[in-house]
Structure 1
Amino acid sequence: MKDIQPIPTSFIEQIKQLIKDAQVGVSKTVNAIMVQTYFELGKRIVEQEQHGNEQAGYGGFILDRLSNDLTSEFGKGFSKRNLELIRKFYLTYKIAKSPISQSISWTHYLQLMRILNAEERNFYEIETVANNWSVRELTRQINTSLFERLSLSKDKSAVMKLASEGQIMENPTDMIKDPYVLEFLNLPESYTYNESELEHAIIDKLEHFLLELGKGFTFVGRQVRFTFDEEHFRIDLVFYNRLLKCFVLVDLKIGKLKHQDLGQMQMYVNYYDRYVKLEDENKTIGIILCKDKKDTLVEITLPENNNQIFASKYELILPSKKDLQQLIDNKTD
């Protein structure tokens, strides 16, 4: 009897991955059909309501009757509340004249429909598709006011471009947010912590921090040391951005930003540009994350044509959407 050869582990793993890919494909197809069906269902409901628009309460009567019949035939998922959301879905995207994405789920759309501003909603939809955000990731970006935070550094025309095209990474300013929101660290505002503890908390939640940084970031190291003139220096966090093809150095400051902090980051950036980056890579970017800063100090300390050193505040709690919107309105008036 011939010896039975063991089945290679790689073969089994390949088969498992094949099945997983098929399951994902089926799920995406089902989601796409469901979303398109709900849009058409919403359209039919609205059209039927318009036929009886002179009868008070006719729309409510339709939803009640439809909910009873559909639930009896198809089971759960067709409550009056769900039918109201389906109706809202059609009305929202009919008015916006936006195509219905085949790449995101009905649950994503339930989150997107909560956004009243059409430009803001379009931005989050574009970014969800481009970055393959889960519903949880989309919800977090909405709750941390990503659209408003990116808009703060842009003029009115750039804000409109952001709304219509999403976040395009073409230059260093495209990646910068102010403030950065680090609510996922679960550090209370009143808690006394030092820079080492803040860094440790970020490393523990590195996946969340990378999401907050934005597109194209990969982690290189923490407390990265370099030496010259027999003196050692350490950079808190080092990243690389694949889209901008450059190193990104992050320094953490728990107190008020000082001009010495900007000078120190300038030295870090100069070292990386001269001794670390390759010829085909772009200039290094330095970001100082601080609890407090004065914009005038930053502007006076850095060169007028600066596009490498940035100082941004960080927040440990979710920012007020109303306050951020007010800042945008003041900036773009």
Structure 2
Amino acid sequence: MNVKLESSFFEKIKKLLLEAQQGVVKQVNSIMVSTYYEMGKQIVEQEQNGSEEAEYGSYILSELSQRLTSEFGKGYSKRNLELIRKFYLTYKNAKSPISQNLSWTHYIQLMRIGDEKERSYYQQQTEINHWSVRELDRQINSSLFQRIVFDEDNNKIKPPEDQGDSILNSPLQTIKDPYVLEFLNLEDRHSYSESQLEQAIIDKLENFLLELGKGFTFVGRQVRFTFDEEHFRIDLVFYNRLLRCFVLIDLKIGKLKHQDLGQMQMYVNYYDRFVKTQDEMPTIGIILCKDKKDTMVEITLPKDNKQIFASKYLLYLPKEEELKKLIQ
């Protein structure tokens, strides 16, 4: 008897097995993180029993590495044991406790960060946004924390302790300056047009959405609207479900001019009056440019401006010192 297996039935079974595999991996990661934390605690407590802490500690790790490797195989080198000890020392008094949702590899990346507030921020964002280790590494290397969290000494905003999926209080909490677009693979000194920049962003839209931040969805490119028998096109249109508003992006490869700000103001006004609904928040306009002068932006826009922003974009991952200068 030749009975054909229904594809829908097979897909249901396949889904169950995949979910089980993912659950096993998650459970293994959770157990590993908890075990390493406890191992780190035991190592530190044993070291503190020694009369010469540094020398005794080195001896413990070397001897422990040899015996564990002999008993359990690879994965227990002296370097790994040093990381396990560091894991405990880093998180034993931390305000953000260890999470069972992050893998050991995530924590190896997080332990690179010395400042607890910054480390806590990346840990929370990794959980909320389900970042892979690779994405977490990119966000750290692109100095996401420094780009969106401002110096409290200058009376500027600080990161909320836990944004979760709640509505953001202000566009300032999501607008970055600069934006880092190294994933576009456009040479920094190469001659390219605004349409080529736009196409590169569309080709890497998933990466661009991650760089924009939380809550962004893509609406369209070269979105046209018409009034007084004139046609206008907005380079990129997004919607942010957390801010509950449209976000319009205009791309400029050259120096930012006051006419560009006026044009964006017109785009924003149009969307506020004819596109957004009554229960949505005011439209945001971002001019993404290669070069800008903050003084010109401040003079051109109203003092109480909360809708129009000009941000630089970088086609490479900036070095820390260079980024500090840009922010200052």
**Superposition TM-score, scaled by structure 2 size:** 0.93
Deviation at 1:65, TM superposition (A): 1.0
Q: In structure 2, what is the Cα distance between the partners aligned to 1:56 and 1:315?
A: 44
Query: 2:162 maps to which residue?
Result: 165
Aligned to 1:116: 114
Q: Give, in angstroms, the shift of residue 61 of structure 1.
A: 1.1
Task: From the superposition, tell whether residues 158 and 107 of structure 1 become closer, same or farther in structure 2 (CA, over 3 Å).
Answer: farther
CA deviation after TM superposition for structure 1 residue 172, in Å:
1.2
Aligned to 2:240: 241
Letter in 2 for 1:243: L
8 Å Cα contact 2:179/2:313 also seen in 1: yes
Equivalent residue number for residue 58 of structure 1:
56
SS at 2:191's partner residue? coil
Counterpart amino acid of 1:217?
Answer: F
Deviations 1:152-176 (A, max 9, x none): 48666765544x4368722211110
Q: Does 1:133 align with 2:131?
A: yes
The question of whether the paired residues in 1 share the 8 Å contact of 2:245 and 2:282 is answered with yes
Give the whole-Å Cα distance in 2 for the aligned partners of 1:252 and 1:154: 31
- 1:171-250 to 2 correspondence within 5 Å? 171-250=170-249
Shift of 1:284: 0.9
Matching of residues 5-84 of structure 1 within 5 Å? 6-54=4-52, 57-84=55-82
Q: Which moved more, 1:254-263 or 1:20-29?
A: 20-29
> Would the aligned equivalents of 2:150 and 2:158 in 1 still touch at CA under 8 Å?
no
Cα distance in 2, alignment partners of residues 327 and 189 from structure 1: 16
Measure, in 1, the Cα distance between the counterparts of 2:74 and 2:307.
55
Q: Using the TM superposition, give the Cα deviation of residue 109 of structure 1 relative to its aligned residue in structure 2, in angstroms.
A: 0.2
TM-superposed deviation, 1:14: 2.7
CA distance in 1, matches of 2:152, 2:265: 24
Hey, what does 2:140 align to over in structure 1? 142
Work out the CA distance in 2 between the residues paired with 1:38 and 1:132.
Answer: 22
Alpha-carbon offset, residue 116 of structure 1: 0.9
Gaps of 5+ in 2: none
1: CA distance, partners of 2:83 / 2:58? 13
1:110-166, CA deviations, whole angstroms, 9 ceiling, x for partnerless residues? 00001111111110001001111000110000000000000248666765544x436
CA distance in 1, matches of 2:143, 2:182: 12
- The one-letter code matched in structure 1 to 2:199 is H
Aligned-residue offset at 1:18: 2.1
Aligned counterparts of 2:230 and 2:66: Cα–Cα separation in 1: 77
**Local SS of the residue matching 2:87:** helix
Query: Quick check: 2:149–2:158 contact (8 Å CA) kept in 1?
Result: no
Residue 92 of structure 2 aligns to a residue in which SS? helix
Change (3 A) 1:237 1:147: same
Task: Report the TM-score when normalising by structure 1.
Answer: 0.92
Question: Is 2:151–2:158's contact at 8 Å kept on the other side of the alignment?
Answer: no
Aligned length: 326
For the Cα contact (< 8 Å) 1:152–1:327, is it kept in 2? no
Which of 164-173 and 50-59 deviates more? Answer: 164-173
Q: Does 2:298 align with 1:290?
A: no
1:11, distance to aligned residue in structure 2 (A): 3.1
**What residue identity is the alignment partner of 1:37?**
T
